[in-house]
């Protein structure tokens, strides 16, 4: 619970920093949060899969499910996609949904591969 709260606070600060630094109609803050969270989840997963014993399994679970679960956000991503639909920004919706799924998956794989080859 504490890890999830800390992740949510980090999400808020990263999202605010990105949104203010790069104003755009695209939900760039949420995109950056979700992609960076996917990469971090890939790193932790890779550490577990490839036997890096730098943290106990319970710590990896707290980091993945607690902190990164609180850091990344499915619900905000979906609400922003609906807002784009309501604004008739179909290209933005497509880019947001498909782009986030593809890049998020690739970011997670990159994290796992990075650990594998270190």
pLDDT in tens, 45-93: 999 999 998 988 999 999 999 999 999 999 999 999 999 999 999 999 9
Q: What is the pLDDT of residues 11-53, one digit of tens each?
A: 999 999 999 999 999 999 999 999 999 999 999 999 999 999 8
The binding site consists of 69, 72
Give the single-character DSSP code of 117.
T
pLDDT score at 68: 98
The binding site for Na(+) consists of 69, 72
pLDDT score at 33: 98
- Are 33 and 77 within 8 A, CB to CB? no
Output phi, psi for 87, to 5 deg: -85, 5
pTM, entire model: 0.94
pLDDT score at 21: 98
* Coil, helix or strand at residue 17: helix
Q: Which spans in 1-118 are helix H?
A: 2-21, 28-49, 57-61, 68-71, 74-86, 90-116
CA distances from 6 to 3, 82, 86 (A): 5, 27, 32
């Amino acid at each position: 619970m504490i890890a999830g709260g800390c992740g949510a606070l980090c999400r808020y600060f990263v999202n605010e920093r990105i949104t203010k630094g790069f104003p755009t109609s695209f939900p760039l803050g949420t995109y950056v949060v979700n992609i960076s969270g996917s990469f971090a989840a890939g790193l932790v997963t890779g550490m577990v899969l490839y036997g890096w014993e730098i943290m106990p399994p319970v710590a990896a679970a707290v980091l993945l499910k607690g902190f990164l679960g609180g850091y990344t956000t499915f619900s905000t991503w979906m609400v922003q996609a609906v807002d784009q639909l309501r604004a008739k920004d179909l290209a933005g919706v497509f880019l947001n949904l498909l782009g986030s799924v593809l890049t998020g998956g690739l970011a997670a794989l990159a994290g796992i591969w990075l650990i594998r080859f270190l």
